[in-house]
Structure formats: C-alpha cells, structure tokens
Amino acid sequence: MQRNSILNERHRQLGSLLDGETWNNMPLPWRYSTDAHEEVIATRTRAGLYDVTALNLINVSGKDAASVLDQLVSIDIARLKPGCSRLAAEVNDDGALVDDIMVIRDGPDAFRLSHGSGKTKEHLDRVAQGREITIQADLDTHILSLQGPKSLQILAPHAALGLETLPYFQHTTTTLFGVSVIIARGGYSGELGYEVYCASKNAVSLWDQILEAGKPYGAIAASWNALELTRIEGALLFFPFEMPEGDTTPWEVNMSWAVDLDKKGPYIGKDALLKLRGRERVKQAGLICDASYAVEAGSKIFKDSLEVGVVTSSSYSHYLMQSLALVHLLPTHTALGTRVVVKGLKGECTACVVKTPFYDPLRQRTHGTP
C-alpha cells in the first residue's frame, strides 16, 4: 500500500514532481527547483528543513516490551533510559545486518522503533510471539527535520522548553508553536539538528511556521538529494547501500558501537555475530578521489593489479570541493594514505584512503554543546 506525506502539496510547490523512486512505499521529494548543492550549503551554514516522514515508525508497548526488544537488537535495552534513543545493530541468524534501526524509549514499557526498509517487522513479529505486548505501525506521525547550525536559534523561541538543554539523541514531549509534539535532537546530516514528530493534521502548519521563523536566518526547505549529499559527507551509513555483500556484519562497517558485548541476554543472531568478530572480510572506509565528478557506486577499486574493494556510495561535494566515496576495502588496504585506483563507467581515477567522516571528523557539530 502506498503511503503519502501530508506535505506532498508543499513539495510540489517547491518544484518536486514526486515521481522518482519511492522508499518504504512513500514518494519522496528527491529534488526541488532549488539546486541540491545550494541546499547542502544552507544546511551546513544556516538550516535546511527536511521531510523524513518516509521512515517507518512502530509503537511497541506493554509488560513485555523491553524484554521483547532486547531479543530483537544487540544493545542492552535495560540501559536505555526513558527520553533517550540508540541506534542498534539488528542482525539475522547468521549475524548479518538486516535493517537500519533506532530504538526510542518513551517510558518503562513504551518504545518507538524508527527503521528503514529491512527485516524489522518480520523479526519483531518473531520475537513477540506469545508475549504481553502491543505492536502498532504509526502511519500518522510526520517527522520534520531541521538541520544546521541555526536550527536551535530558529526553534527555541517557539518551544515550551529550553531546547538548548536537550542532549544529543534525547527527546521530550513539548509544544512547538502551541502544538503538541515530540522534539528529538539528532538527524541524518552530520549537523546540529532537531527532529519534530507531529500528528499529520499539524504537519503543514508546522512546516510553514518553521520556514517562516527561519527566514531571518536563511533557512530553506531541502530535498532528499541534499540529504543524501550531507549524509555521505558525514559518512553516515544507509541500509542496504553500505552493505552490498548481502551478509555484511556490523564489524565490517565499523558498527561495534551498536553492539553491547557484555549484554547477557539472548537476541537474534547473537552467537553468530560474536563468532564473526575479528573475521572481517572487508572494512568500511572513505576515499577522496582525484576527480571532478562523483564516481559511481559499484565502481571497483584496485591496488596495482589486485582488486581490493568497491564503492558503496559517492558524491561530488560542492561544499568540500572534493569527490567523496564510501567504500568497502580489504582490511589490509585501509591504512590512511593508501593510494588506490577507482575504475567505473566514467573512467578511472586515483584516490586516497582518508579519515571519515569527511565533514566534521570529530563530530563536534552533532555531539557538542550547541
């Protein structure tokens, strides 16, 4: 069944045809009449407003909610406090990643799952069998994501709490422009940002009011093409594009932070996942390519005559003025400064392994004090 954002008319007014590839059965505003690279610059220097309603949201509640979710993901749910969120590794019985998932805890027995296009629903149904739990897909909530260094200044005067006190990856129920919402600090741009979860009936007015409040700061609406550019600059992973092998493990994409090694209880794929630690076939890395274009995803990477990797995602960043590539490399070829050759449909170019993220390598913009 096709889903639609209540903001589609706003997207059309901004120049989107909503006729490109869908995600999670929802048409996306991939492009506006403004240039995506200019939208990135706005996000990096001022603020960009994104509609990320296409994320799947599932409400999970009940006596057994915490223990069921503990069997779904590799993090220890008991450590997750109400008002906090964590990204987690969700794997199959073979220890391979099967979705992007964020676990959001609203109360002792109340959670929300924000996930992508993978196996979360199937896995959740599996571990919930016979348990005292209520699982309900949320098809009403809309998510407005204001990203950029001016986002706090734009939202704070209109929120009923001190947003400057909200830590990274925490959320709270409040009002914004007099409307009941949940505001979370986070996003997918590698910037300071806030996500506003609201009822569909309020989404259009909130979208308009956020943009109106942002005008003095130079805030603009931003498309999904801009979001893709910012997430690559920030070296943020996207399932399944950064997992092209089909059985990629968290260890191979540097997601050890999403696995609690001392977690006592069982979860799907635990034994296989722990056995695969230290047996990585590839490692996630970043390349700066000596090219004036974005190399293609799927391009092969060579060192001398040896094929040593593949490009998973790429962009030409007008903000950084560099050709960027997220890649999988043989573990023996990930040392910073390693020179390689990338061969794709546009030709071949030399490239160098560099530290990621490409933008804000210490992640001070997202994690620091605003």
Question: Between the CA of residue 299 and those of 29, 120, 229, what are the distances in Å?
Answer: 27, 30, 18
Q: Tell me, what's the pLDDT at 308?
A: 98
Chain position carrying tokens 């003025």 = 321
CB 51 within 8 A of CB 187: no
Summarize the confidence of residues 138-163 as an average pLDDT.
Answer: 97
Rg (CA), the chain: 21
Summarize the confidence of residues 136-149 as an average pLDDT.
Answer: 98
Summarize the confidence of residues 51-66 as an average pLDDT.
Answer: 98
Strands 283-289 and 347-354: antiparallel
Strands 220-221 and 283-289: unpaired
**CA of residue 181 relative to chain centroid, distance:** 21
Which pTM does this prediction carry?
0.96
Q: Tell me, what's the pLDDT at 1?
A: 78
Structure tokens at 246: 């089909």
Summarize the confidence of residues 276-292 as an average pLDDT.
Answer: 98
Q: Does the pLDDT of residue 263 top 90, yes or no? A: yes
Summarize the confidence of residues 237-244 as an average pLDDT.
Answer: 96
Beta strands in the chain (DSSP E): 48-51, 56-61, 84-91, 97-107, 110-115, 134-137, 142-147, 171-176, 179-185, 193-198, 220-221, 283-289, 300-303, 306-317, 322-329, 339-344, 347-354
Hey, what domains does the chain have and what are their CATH numbers? 8-53+141-233 (3.30.1360.120), 282-370 (2.40.30.110)
For the chain, give the mean pLDDT. Answer: 97
Summarize the confidence of residues 195-211 as an average pLDDT.
Answer: 98
Summarize the confidence of residues 80-108 as an average pLDDT.
Answer: 98
Structure tokens at 227: 């979001």
Residues 6+ apart with CB under 8 A from 247: 94, 96
**Long-range CB contact pairs, 32-36, < 8 A, 24+:** 32/221, 32/222, 32/223, 34/220, 34/221, 34/223, 36/222, 36/223, 36/225, 36/226, 36/229
Q: Tell me, what's the pLDDT at 20?
A: 83
